[in-house]
Amino acid sequence: MKEPWRNDTYSHVTELVRVSFMDTFKEFDRLKKTWKPDGYLQELANDIKKNGIKDPLIASYNPTNQEILLIEGNHRLAVAKMLGITHLPLRIVRSRYTVGTYIPNGLSYKTAIGHINGDLKPSEVFHIDVKVA
């Protein structure tokens, strides 16, 4: 599959993460609830098959309460599941206002040093393996 997201400005903080893992902190199940017009998910699926994922998905992470929410890419996540795609590009942005899924053993150890970057790699937030291309 093509990977145009690798040319993105934030590719240095983007990693391939398992779809099944991202599914645990999605905002909505876009296969059941979407505000897009009829046929949108199929059009998106056709575009992904032809061109690959153009932009990384984005999750907002609050290091204070260790909660995370997928804020950009819920439709792409739903289509990836339809197409059987196992990994998607993800980057994390730090936020003080995220109310989402609690992630135990997240970045709490880094808060002790008093600084957390605004953009984070998923492997800097989660204790997970990421796919290296």
The alpha carbon dihedral of 60, 31, 34, 48 has a sign of positive
131 assigned to some structural domain: no
CA distance 100 to 58: 13
Domain count, the chain: 1
Q: Which domain holds residue 79?
A: 4-125
113 assigned to some structural domain: yes
130 assigned to some structural domain: no
In this prediction, residue 5 has a pLDDT band, given cuts at 50, 70 and 90, of confident
- Report the candidate in 85, 67, 76 with the shortest Cα–Cα distance to residue 34: 76
119 assigned to some structural domain: yes
Q: What is the CATH number of the domain that holds 52?
A: 3.90.1530.10
Give the per-residue pLDDT at 73.
93
133 assigned to some structural domain: no
| Residue pLDDT, tens place only, 56-106 | 999 988 877 778 889 899 999 999 999 999 999 999 888 776 555 555 544
Torsion of CA 104, 109, 115, 120, to 10 degrees: -50
**Per-residue tokens: 7:** 């040319």
132 assigned to some structural domain: no
| Residue pLDDT, tens place only, 23-59 | 888 887 666 666 676 788 899 999 999 999 999 999 9
